[in-house]
Amino acid sequence: MPACRVLFGAGSIDRLPDEVKRLGATRAVVISMPSEIRFAEDAAARLGEMSAGVYAGVVAQHVPVEMLRDAREYARKLGADCYVVVGGGSTVGVGKGLALETGLPIVAVPTTYAGSEMTPIYGLTEDGIKKTGRDRKVMPKAVIYDVNLTLSLPPRIAGPSGINALAHCVEAMYAEDANPIVSLLAEEGIRALARALPIVVREPGNVAARSDAQYGAWLGGTALGSVGMSIHHKLCHTLGGSFNLPHAETHTVVLPHATAYNRAAAPAAMARIAAALGAADAAQGIYDLIGTLGAPRALKDIGMPGDGLDHAADLATKNPYYNPRPIERAGIRELLENAYNGTRP
Ligand code: NAD
- Report how far residue 301's alpha carbon sits from residue 127's, in angstroms, rounded to the nearest whole number: 27
Taking the centre of ligand 1 as the mean of its atom positions, its distance from the CA of residue 61, in whole angstroms, is: 7
Q: Is 250 near ligand 1, meaning CB less than 6 Å away?
A: no
Q: In angstroms, what is the span from residue 114 Cα to ligand 1's centroid?
A: 6
CB 31 within 8 A of CB 39: no
Ligand 1, atom 30, lies closest to the CA of 89
pLDDT at 241: 86
Cβ-Cβ contacts under 8 Å for 105 (sequence gap 6 or more): 23, 25, 82, 83, 99, 140, 141
- Is the beta carbon of 342 within 6 A of some atom in ligand 1? no
33 touches ligand 1 (CB under 6 Å):
yes
Q: Is the CATH number of domain 155-341 1.20.1090.10?
A: yes
Cβ–ligand 1 distance for 150 under 6 Å, the answer: yes
For ligand 1, atom 37: residue with the closest CA: 116
Q: Is 88 in the pocket of ligand 1 (CB under 6 A)?
A: yes
Q: Residue 21 C-alpha to ligand 1 middle, in angstroms?
A: 27
Ligand 1 geometric centre to CA of 161 (Å): 8
Separation of CA 19 and ligand 1 centre (Å): 23
pLDDT in tens, 293-331: 999 999 999 999 999 999 999 999 998 899 999 999 999
Rounded to the nearest whole angstrom, what is the distance from the C-alpha of residue 112 to the centroid of ligand 1? 6
**pTM across the whole model:** 0.98
Q: Which residues of the chain have pLDDT under 50?
A: none
* Among the listed residues 91, 57, 59, 86, the one whose alpha carbon sits nearest the alpha carbon of residue 74: 57
Q: Give pairs for 128-137: CB < 8 Å, separation 24+.
A: 129/241, 130/62, 130/237, 130/240, 130/241, 132/237, 135/100, 137/99, 137/100, 137/103
What pLDDT is stored for residue 202 in this prediction? 98
Q: What backbone torsions phi and psi does residue 8 show, to the nearest 5 degrees?
A: -135, 135
Domain 5-150, CATH among 3.40.50.2020, 3.20.20.70, 3.40.50.970, 3.40.50.1970 = 3.40.50.1970
Domain-wise residue ranges, the chain = 5-150, 155-341
CA distances from 256 to 207, 231, 261, 341 (A): 28, 12, 9, 13
Give the strand pairing for 82-87 and 28-31.
parallel
